[in-house]
């Protein structure tokens, strides 16, 4: 079983030396308390919680799973105690307003916290994690009464929240939802319908669960234009905001899943359940995207988390396990064979895991600063500020979610490969990581949905290619600053060519789509993966530039740390970045080879 150790040196390198979080926090209205000492203490204490409390129940939670009995869901042994410690530490309200009992710190700290928790125990992290989107939705779209009733217990962690969107007949296509909401004389609504795949829909960790539910009013327009959003609590709060009578919402069953087995994935039945409209009628989808963007970034964190945990397990094993001799000669002549880490192909696998974990972490941290500004827009009631940063973050969201979860799954599979046959055995914990990682590419929108969102909506429809032009302009500014630096020349040259190619590919697809409408769907997956590899290349070049500067002028870390960063960046540019070329060639292929085969010719009986 991999023993999780929070990668604090890499985290502090990114926060303090690459992205200058201390300076960033001075620009935020809620950043005054995020001093370097405070942030360091928070990160260190969270690492302790993850290493000592959450990680030890990761494997046991998977083996035991959740228990279901007559609508009651019980989490695995140790989860309730761990959750109580989590609540006692004030972790749930880390980045939520002090007026509701939170600590009021920037949202980025919550994402950093989520990465450590998710790496230590993703199943556990999903319980408090789902509450965050619920809290953000109520905070942005709820009225004052709703905020005063629901935010304090949610921020404390005494209550938890869910998102109830999907139904048996529809997944991502929410225009098909059938759950009904009938208005009542007292201003409430009665909701009837069934929701599926509801993470943390029922459990024994909190005294109440607040469901955010999509449903249709009787006179609602068809499709996505006729969806409203409702708050449906498991127990209806009384006048004082305490838990009151039981609502008519219940768990019909829990899913038996490939992975994240300690996280309850529920079928939720609403039988004339009392609900409260949040936001405007028939505008629920707009409000829901607050929830979804939060969830998608959280899922992107999962890609990094599984890459990191699998890497830690594989690295320790590769240093201890001995097999054959290295082709370049004996490395450990006193031993019967050399350790796996001396074999070039094993190093290829380990370095692939390393660049995914550390490169993905850099991408998340960069985006987290956008999330800070976006959240400040909500806190300050500045709609223009919110929309500006939401649009900028929106371009990265599908790349982060789609690309990082695909690479996180790749890293998890590589970890098993390093272990060989032992990686297939439960007691070593590596196959659990692969099973847990598999869902990340599916929920909150599959990779294909993320790709369509990126290319079809964010790049072509909304910005006419401007989203790509804006980001590549920032990358080219970086290239300009380092153009005369001999050590950075290879990175600058590659990135400059890639920026030009990325814009060219975008324009070509845009023009081709005028005659071949299927090209957008045909090209979108390759476009997303290409975008991901180029984006990660920029962040590896950025880390290399900082490492070179610190080697020359001194930094917080030892020289060996910075040298390792440079060598890892070299590996990424030489071994992983060339994958982008294949995606570039594939995305420009006409859609004909995909669409010409008759549906009855796919198989012959």
Instruction: Quote the pLDDT of residue 530.
Output: 98
Radius of gyration of the chain (CA): 24
Structure tokens at 350: 């380990």
Domain boundaries, the chain: 8-288, 291-445, 450-592
Where is pLDDT greater, at 549 or 292? 549
pLDDT class of 455 with cuts at 50, 70, 90: very high
460 DSSP assignment: I
Angle between helices 519-553 and 404-419 (to 10 degrees): 70
What is the DSSP code string of 146-199?
A: HHHHHHHHHHHTSEEEEEE--BTTBSS-GGG---EEEE-TTS-EEEEEEEEEEE
Q: What does the pLDDT look like over 399-418, one tens digit per residue?
A: 999 999 999 999 999 999 99
H/E element, 272: strand 265-277
Q: How far apart are CA 164 and CA 290, in angstroms?
A: 14
Average pLDDT, the chain: 95
pLDDT class of 288 with cuts at 50, 70, 90: confident
| CB distance 166 to 247 below 8 Å | no
> 8-288: what fold?
Butyryl-CoA Dehydrogenase, subunit A; domain 2 (2.40.110)
H/E element, 411: helix 404-419
CATH 1.20.140.10 fits 291-445, yes or no: yes
pLDDT class of 2 with cuts at 50, 70, 90: confident
* Catalytic machinery residues: 444
Q: What does the pLDDT look like over 84-124, one tens digit per residue?
A: 999 999 999 999 999 999 999 999 999 999 999 999 999 99
pLDDT class of 278 with cuts at 50, 70, 90: very high
| pTM given for the model | 0.96
The percent helix, strand, coil of the chain (3-state, each to 5) is: 60, 10, 25
Largest CA distance in the chain: 84
Half-sphere exposure of 592 (CA within 13 A, CB side): 4
Q: Which of 44-53, 235-244, 360-369, 530-539 has the lowest mean pLDDT?
A: 235-244
Angle between helices 344-379 and 122-141 (to 10 degrees): 20
Instruction: Quote the pLDDT of residue 224.
Output: 86
Q: How far apart are CA 401 and CA 444, in angstroms?
A: 9
Instruction: Classify each residue of 300-323 as buried b or exposed e, where b means 16 or more C-beta atoms within 10 Å of its C-beta.
Output: bbbbbbbbbbbbbbbbebbeebbe
pLDDT class of 175 with cuts at 50, 70, 90: confident
Half-sphere exposure of 568 (CA within 13 A, CB side): 26
To the nearest whole percent, how much of the chain has pLDDT over 90?
90
Instruction: Quote the pLDDT of residue 240.
Output: 84
């Amino acid at each position: 079983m991999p023993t999780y150790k929070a990668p604090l040196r890499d985290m502090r390198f990114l926060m303090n030396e690459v992205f200058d979080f201390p300076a960033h926090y001075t620009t935020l209205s809620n950043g005054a308390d995020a001093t370097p000492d405070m942030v360091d203490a928070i990160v260190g204490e969270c690492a302790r919680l993850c290493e000592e409390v959450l990680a030890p129940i990761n494997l046991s939670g998977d083996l035991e799973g959740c228990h279901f009995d007559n609508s009651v869901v019980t989490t695995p042994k140790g989860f309730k105690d761990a959750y109580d410690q989590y609540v006692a530490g004030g972790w749930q309200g880390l980045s939520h307003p002090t007026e509701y009992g939170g600590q009021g710190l920037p949202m980025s700290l919550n994402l950093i916290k989520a990465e450590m928790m998710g790496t230590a125990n993703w199943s556990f992290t999903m319980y408090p994690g789902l509450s965050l989107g619920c809290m953000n939705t109520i905070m942005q779209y709820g009225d004052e009464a709703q905020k005063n009733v629901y935010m304090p217990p949610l921020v404390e962690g005494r209550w938890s929240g869910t998102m109830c969107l999907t139904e048996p007949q529809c997944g991502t296509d929410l225009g098909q939802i059938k759950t009904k909401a009938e208005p009542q004389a007292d201003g409430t609504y009665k909701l009837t319908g069934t929701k599926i795949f509801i993470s943390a829909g029922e459990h024994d960790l909190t005294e109440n669960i607040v469901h955010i539910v999509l449903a249709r009013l009787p006179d609602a327009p068809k499709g996505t234009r006729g969806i409203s959003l409702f708050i449906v609590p498991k127990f209806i709060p009384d006048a004082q905001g305490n838990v009151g009578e039981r609502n008519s919402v219940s768990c019909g069953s829990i899913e038996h899943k490939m992975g994240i087995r300690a996280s309850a994935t529920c079928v939720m039945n609403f039988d004339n359940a009392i609900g409260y409209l949040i936001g405007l009628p028939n505008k629920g989808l707009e409000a829901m995207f607050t929830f979804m963007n939060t969830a998608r970034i959280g899922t992107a964190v999962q890609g990094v988390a599984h890459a990191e945990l699998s890497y830690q397990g594989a690295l320790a094993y590769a240093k201890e396990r001995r097999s054959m001799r290295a082709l370049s000669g004996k490395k450990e002549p006193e031993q019967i064979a050399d350790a796996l880490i001396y074999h070039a192909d094993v190093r290829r696998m380990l370095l692939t895991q390393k660049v995914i974990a550390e490169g993905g972490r850099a991408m998340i941290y960069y985006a987290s600063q956008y999330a800070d500004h976006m959240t400040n827009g909500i806190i300050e009631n500045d709609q223009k500020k919110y929309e500006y940063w939401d649009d900028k973050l929106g371009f990265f969201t599908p790349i982060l979610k789609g690309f990082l979860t695909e690479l996180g799954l790749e890293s998890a599979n590589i970890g098993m490969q390093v272990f060989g046959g032992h990686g297939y055995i439960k007691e070593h914990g590596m196959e659990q990581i692969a099973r847990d990682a598999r869902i990340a590419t599916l929920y909150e929108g599959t990779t294909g949905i993320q790709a369509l969102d990126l290319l079809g909506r964010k790049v072509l429809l909304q910005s006419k290619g401007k989203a790509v032009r804006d980001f590549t302009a920032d990358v080219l500014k970086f290239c300009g600053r380092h153009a005369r630096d001999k050590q950075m020349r290879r990175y600058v040259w590659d990135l400059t060519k890639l920026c030009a190619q990325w814009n060219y590919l975008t324009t070509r697809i845009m023009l081709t789509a005028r005659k071949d409408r299927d090209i957008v769907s045909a090209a979108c997956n390759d476009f997303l993966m290409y975008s991901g590899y180029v984006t990660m290349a920029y962040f590896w070049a950025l880390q290399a530039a900082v490492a070179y500067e610190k080697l020359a002028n001194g930094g917080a870390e030892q020289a060996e740390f910075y040298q390792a960063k440079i060598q890892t960046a070299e590996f990424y540019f030489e071994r992983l970045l060339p994958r982008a070329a294949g995606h570039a060639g594939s995305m420009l292929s006409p859609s004909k080879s995909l669409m010409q085969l008759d549906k009855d010719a796919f198989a012959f009986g």
